[in-house]
Chains A and B, each alone.
Chain A
Amino acid sequence: MRLGKGLAIGLVATSCLLLSGCGTKNKEHAVTAVGSTAMQPLVQKAGSDFQQQNQQYTVTVQGGGSGTGLSQAETGAVNIGNSDIFAEQKDGIHADRLQDHRVAVVGIAPVSNEHNGVNNLTQRQLAAIFTGKIKNWKEVGGKDLPIIVINRAQGSGTRKTFEAKVLKGQQPVKSQEQDSNGTVKKIVQNTPGTISYLSLPYLNRELQTVKVDGVAPTPRNITTNKWKIWSYEHMYTSKQPSKPTQAFLAYLMSKPVQAKLVKEAGYVSIHDMKVHMTPDDRVLPGNQ
Chain B
Amino acid sequence: MNNIQKKLVQPSAATHQDRRGRLISFICVSFIMVLTVAIIGFIAIHGLATFTENHISVWDFLTKSDWNPGQMGPNGKPEVGALAMIVASFAVTLLAALFATPFAVAVAVYMTELAPKRGARMLQPVIELLVGIPSVVYGFIGLVVVVPAIRSVFGGTGFGVLAGAIVLFVMILPTITSLTIDSLKQVPGYYRDASLALGATKWQTIYKVILRAALPGIMTAVVFGMARAFGEALAVQMVIGNAAITPTNLVSPTSTLTSQLTSQMGDTIMGTLPNNALWSLALVLLLMSVIFNVLVKFIGSRGELKK
Binding site for B on A (CB under 8 A): 63-68, 70-71, 90-93, 148, 153-157, 174-179, 183, 186-187, 190-191, 193-194
**Contact: B159 with A183, CB < 8 Å?**
no
**Contact: A174 with B244, CB < 8 Å?**
yes
Residue among A64, A90, A157, A176 having the largest count of chain B Cβ atoms under 10 Å:
A176
What's the least CB distance linking B16 to chain A, in Å? 12
* Contacting residues, chain B, for A178 (C-beta < 8 A): 242, 263
**Contact: B68 with A91, CB < 8 Å?**
no
Q: 25 A-B contacts, Cβ less than 8 Å apart?
A: A65-B266, A67-B267, A67-B269, A70-B269, A92-B269, A92-B270, A92-B271, A92-B275, A154-B70, A154-B267, A155-B267, A155-B268, A174-B244, A174-B245, A176-B157, A176-B241, A176-B242, A176-B253, A177-B263, A179-B242, A183-B143, A186-B144, A190-B144, A191-B157, A194-B157
CA A177 to CA B254, docked complex, whole Å: 9
**Contact: B70 with A155, CB < 8 Å?**
yes
**Contact: B243 with A175, CB < 8 Å?**
yes
Known contacts A176-B242, A191-B157; A154/B269 CB under 8 A: no
Nearest A residue to B272, CB-CB: A92
Known contacts A91-B272, A92-B269; A174/B243 CB under 8 A: yes
Extra inter-chain contacts (7) besides given A67-B269, A92-B271, CB under 8 Å: A67-B266, A67-B267, A71-B269, A155-B267, A177-B255, A191-B151, A193-B157
Residue among A66, A93, A155, A193 having the largest count of chain B Cβ atoms under 10 Å:
A155
Q: Does B264 touch A at the CB level, under 8 Å?
A: yes
What's the least CB distance linking A94 to chain B, in Å? 10
CA A190 to CA B157, docked complex, whole Å: 10
CA A65 to CA B266, docked complex, whole Å: 5
Known contacts A154-B70, A177-B255; A191/B267 CB under 8 A: no
Nearest A residue to B240, CB-CB: A176
CA A177 to CA B70, docked complex, whole Å: 15
**Contact: B159 with A176, CB < 8 Å?**
yes
Q: Does B274 touch A at the CB level, under 8 Å?
A: yes
**Contact: B157 with A157, CB < 8 Å?**
no
**Contact: A154 with B264, CB < 8 Å?**
yes
Q: Does B283 touch A at the CB level, under 8 Å?
A: no
Known contacts A154-B70, A174-B245, A191-B157; A67/B268 CB under 8 A: yes
Nearest A residue to B17, CB-CB: A1
Contact with B263, one of A71, A93, A179, A193 (Cβ below 8 angstroms): A179
Known contacts A67-B266, A177-B242, A191-B151; A91/B70 CB under 8 A: yes
What's the least CB distance linking A164 to chain B, in Å? 13
* Contacting residues, chain B, for A68 (C-beta < 8 A): 266-267
* Contacting residues, chain A, for B70 (C-beta < 8 A): 91, 154-155
Known contacts A177-B255, A186-B143, A187-B143; A148/B268 CB under 8 A: no
Q: Does B148 touch A at the CB level, under 8 Å?
A: yes
Residue among B148, B157, B270 having the largest count of chain A Cβ atoms under 10 Å:
B157
* Contacting residues, chain B, for A193 (C-beta < 8 A): 157
Q: Does B214 touch A at the CB level, under 8 Å?
A: no
CA A157 to CA B269, docked complex, whole Å: 13
* Contacting residues, chain B, for A71 (C-beta < 8 A): 269-270
Nearest A residue to B139, CB-CB: A183
Nearest A residue to B270, CB-CB: A71
CA A91 to CA B238, docked complex, whole Å: 28
* Contacting residues, chain A, for B263 (C-beta < 8 A): 153, 177-179
Q: Does B158 touch A at the CB level, under 8 Å?
A: yes
* Contacting residues, chain A, for B147 (C-beta < 8 A): 190-191
